[in-house]
């Protein structure tokens, strides 16, 4: 069974800093990997989806990379803002029609 782990569990940075969130997965036979944002009491918002044949995806200040061979993905956030404060989840799809979620990284951006 796919295990997805995220490090660190929590991260606090000053506004304007660039940061990297890490995600690792045990089974490299994935179809794709998604990064989500979860705000307290709210649902999950899909930020980026990287297909297994891709190396990275970019959306605005966000850049996600995927290295299947090492079982790792990173989410890079440039010029962080207080509005980026949330929990970030990665999730892999391994062929079955469901997602395996990581434990999440709780990000706080301090003004």
Among 28, 4, 6, residue whose Cα is nearest residue 74:
6
- Told to check if 101 binds other proteins by CB under 8 A, we report yes
Q: 84 in helix, strand or coil?
A: helix
CA distance 91 to 25: 9
Site string for other proteins, 38-57 (x = CB under 8 A): ---xxxxxx--x-x------
Count of residues that interact with other proteins, criterion CB under 8 A: 25
CB 30 within 8 A of CB 52: yes
Q: How far is the CB of 16 from other proteins (least distance, A)?
A: 29
Give me the residues that bind other proteins (CB under 8 A), please. 4, 31-32, 34, 36, 41-46, 49, 51, 89, 91, 93, 96-104
């Amino acid at each position: 069974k796919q295990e997805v782990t995220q490090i660190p569990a929590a991260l606090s940075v000053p506004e304007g800093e660039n940061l990297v969130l890490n995600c690792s997965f045990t089974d490299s036979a994935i179809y794709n990997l998604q990064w989500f944002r979860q705000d307290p009491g709210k649902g999950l918002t899909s930020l980026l989806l990287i297909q297994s044949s891709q190396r990275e995806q970019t959306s605005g200040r966000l850049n996600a990379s995927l290295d299947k061979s090492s079982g790792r993905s990173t989410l890079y956030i440039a010029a962080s803002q207080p509005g980026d404060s949330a929990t970030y989840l990665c999730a892999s799809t391994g062929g079955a029609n469901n997602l395996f979620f990581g434990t999440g990284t709780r990000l706080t951006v301090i003004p």
